[in-house]
Amino acid sequence: MRSPVVLLAAPRSFCAGVERAIEIVERALAQRGRPVYVRKQIVHNAHVVADLETRGAVFVDELAEVPPGATVVFSAHGVSPAVRTEAAERNLSVIDATCPLVTKVHAEARRFAARGDTVLLVGHAGHEEVEGTLGEAPSQTILVADVAQARTVTVPDPSRVSYLTQTTLAVDETAEILAVLRSRFPALRGPASDDICYATTNRQESLSTVAAEADLVLVVGSTNSSNSVRLVELARRAGKPAYLIDDAGDIRPEWLEGVRTVGVTAGASAPPRLVDEVVAALGPDTVLERETATESIRFTLPPAVRRP
Ligand code: SF4
């Protein structure tokens, strides 16, 4: 298995919200000992979850699986107020690893609903982040998943309507959905700054540059990682064959037949070492990087784990 040129997209791999969430679990384990329970996958990556499991993290789907009084970490995708209430009722010691950029969307949902608006939440049904945001004002929020739903959604009062988006959507597809909503609801109001986060936007921009030059695109990430799946779709919309791989072991030799240049990137929840392993497996003569942005954002840790 060999390809002459590998083009690396940059930025790629871990974002500030993912690094913070993983560090929170690591610190909780160091400070409180094992087990530390984590509600849902801390971030959507099979390798990250497996690694933390070996170190004492116990991942659960529901708080009912956590013994009363135990420590539980909320994942980077955020939770609804109902989950916070349940945690308090079960007397759990909560450490919140919700990405601050998801917390921002929750605050907007509360603010928009409080002024009496119907909130149109653009996002994917069933995604944990969407479920958490919907839970802020369930009776006033309507999920809009695509352009077709944007064309048909109805609201009680078209003069009082706002929108929010999931943080990990495709920038181009979301712009189409919002254009439809704006044309149907001229009074539509939105957040002061985009909800699609800097990391999602940057990874899509760098991948677009790489896909333009590549014969094949490989995206390192897990199938439940929204921003990773969006990267694959973006490359395919650019007309290039693209595959989502959890690690180098998923690369199929037939994908590389006749391929000279392989574009490689990784979703925001995929560890950088997996990218290194993919590049090593491809065995290229040349590795080039296409950097379209630099990232220096860091988020502070929650007080519960801030001491070293
Ligand atoms: S992808 Fe964006 S919203 Fe999600 S954890 Fe990273 S920075 Fe936060």
* CB-ligand 1 contact for 134 (6 Å cutoff): no
Number of H helices, E strands in the chain: 10, 12
**5-to-108, 118, 215, 285 alpha-carbon distances in Å:** 45, 50, 10, 6
Q: Cα(1) to centroid of ligand 1, in Å?
A: 33
Mutate to test the pocket of ligand 1, among 167, 195, 198 (most ligand atoms within 8 A of CB): 167
Q: How many CB atoms lie within 10 A of CB 284?
A: 18
Q: How far apart are CA 194 and CA 200, in angstroms?
A: 11
* CB-ligand 1 contact for 169 (6 Å cutoff): no
Residue whose Cα lies nearest atom 7 of ligand 1: it is 17
pLDDT truncated to tens, each residue of the chain (308 aa)? 667 999 999 999 999 999 999 999 999 999 999 999 999 999 999 999 999 999 999 999 999 999 999 999 999 999 999 999 999 999 999 999 999 999 999 999 999 999 999 999 999 999 999 999 999 999 999 999 999 999 999 999 999 999 999 999 999 999 999 999 999 999 999 999 999 999 999 999 999 999 999 999 999 999 999 999 999 999 999 999 999 999 999 999 999 999 999 999 999 999 999 999 999 999 999 999 999 999 999 999 999 999 76
**CA-based max dimension of the chain:** 61
Give the active site residue among 129, 131, 136, 291. 129
Tell me the pTM: 0.97
Atom of ligand 1 nearest to the CA of 168: 1
